[in-house]
Amino acid sequence: MTDSILSKAATMEIPINSNGDTRTAEDDSLEQDLQQVMVSGPNLNETSIVSGGYGGAAEGIIPTSSIKDIRSKSRGITPSNSAASRIANQPGHYPAPSMHHSNSNPMMSEEATRGVAVEKFDSVKKWSINTYKCTKQMFSERFGRGTKTVDMELEAQIDVLRETKLKYECILRLARDLTNHFYNMVQTQQALGDTFADLSQKSPELQDEFGYNAETQRLLCKNGETLLGAINFFVSSINTLVNKTMEDTLMTIKMYENARLEFDAYRTDLEELSAGPRDAAAMMRIEMAQQQYQIQKDKYERLRSDVTIKLKFLDENKVKVMHKQLLLFHNAISAYFAGNQQQLEQTLRQFNVKLKPPGSDKPSWLEEQ
């Protein structure tokens, strides 16, 4: 009998719902009662859930339809646009921190861009005003209607410097021409000496005559290379003096002349404002013009002092350099054309002029140029 009971219990069917859970008769009756309450009770779509917000009765109210949209989204179902807009427009709705952070970066970059644009606009505005004033002053001076600040002594020194630079440029150009011509002559002498030496070996009847001339041309070629070293040192020193030292002083003079033009432009502007009415707006403009005038005056006086100092040092440097170079040029030329080889070499040693060592296969200093 016990075996029959166990076999009957083993063959009994256990009801299973769609989710795999066991169900009983009590569960079925409870589910029927719950469905009846939901049908007879209020519509859940029309109810709302109140959150613990701080702003009044209307704040923090989220419709249950919105909750369904959120649940549908969590299940992979995209809510409708109307539901999403209702959630976003609720007073108690706050955006996620990531969304707030992404919106702050464009705002910061926009403010930075606006600041750079304003700074550039102010810079262009100041430059335009300054250019207009200077152009107006320049035309006024050219047509004789404006006044000009002139330092007679300094202007005379500047004119002398410009004339001196032109003359030194002429010396430099002629010295370079002399170097090129003399280099060609030395190369011709070297080729002629090699030809004489070759013919001395091949012409026994004229061996002595060709040998004398070959030796003479070789000696002249050697002395010519020594003289070329002295002339090249002279050219290099003059080039440094003209294109570096004098040019640097002339650049400072150009800055001084621009500062003088700006100073006179703002001085004229201040004089015109001072001669006009004296109301509150005019007094403010006069005060601003006075500040700009003082700035330009300080700049003008500073550059005038720089030009005076540079002209003084340039004159001292020019005398020292030209004294040495002219003495070198004279002694080298005299010793070469006098045929005094020892005096020529001593001149180069005196002025520390370095030549290519004899027998070197490297190209000479002039061939490298």
pLDDT tens figures, 276-324: 777 888 888 888 889 988 999 999 999 999 999 999 999 999 999 999 9
Whole-number percent of the chain with pLDDT over 90? 37
Tens digits of residue pLDDT in 55-84:
444 444 444 444 444 444 444 444 444 444
Which of 1-15, 136-150, 163-177 shows the lowest mean pLDDT across its residues? 1-15
Out of 6-10, 21-25, 113-117, 273-277, the most confident range is: 273-277
Checking if the pLDDT of 23 tops 60, the result is: no
Checking if the pLDDT of 36 tops 50, the result is: yes
Separation between Cα atoms, residue 226 and residue 218, nearest integer Å = 13
How many residues belong to the chain? 369
Separation between Cα atoms, residue 287 and residue 273, nearest integer Å = 10
Task: Indicate the average pLDDT of the chain.
Answer: 75
Residue 364 pLDDT: 52
Q: Average pLDDT in the 109-119 region? A: 77
Token digits of residue 125? 């505005």
Q: How many CA atoms, within 13 angstroms, populate the side-chain half-sphere of residue 1?
A: 0
Contact assessment for residue 151 and residue 304, using Cβ atoms and an 8 Å cutoff: yes
Phi-psi domain of 13 (left: phi exceeds 0; alpha: psi -120 through 50; beta: other):
beta
Identity of residue 66? S
CB atoms within 10 A of CB 307: 24
Residue 326 pLDDT: 95
Tens digits of residue pLDDT in 339-367:
888 899 898 888 888 766 544 444 554 44
Tens digits of residue pLDDT in 83-104:
444 444 554 444 444 444 445 5
Q: Average pLDDT in the 44-65 region? A: 42
Burial class of 333 by CB neighbour count within 10 A (0 to 12, 13 to 18, 19+): middle
Estimate the share of the chain in helix, then strand, then coil, as percent rounded to the nearest 5: 75, 0, 20
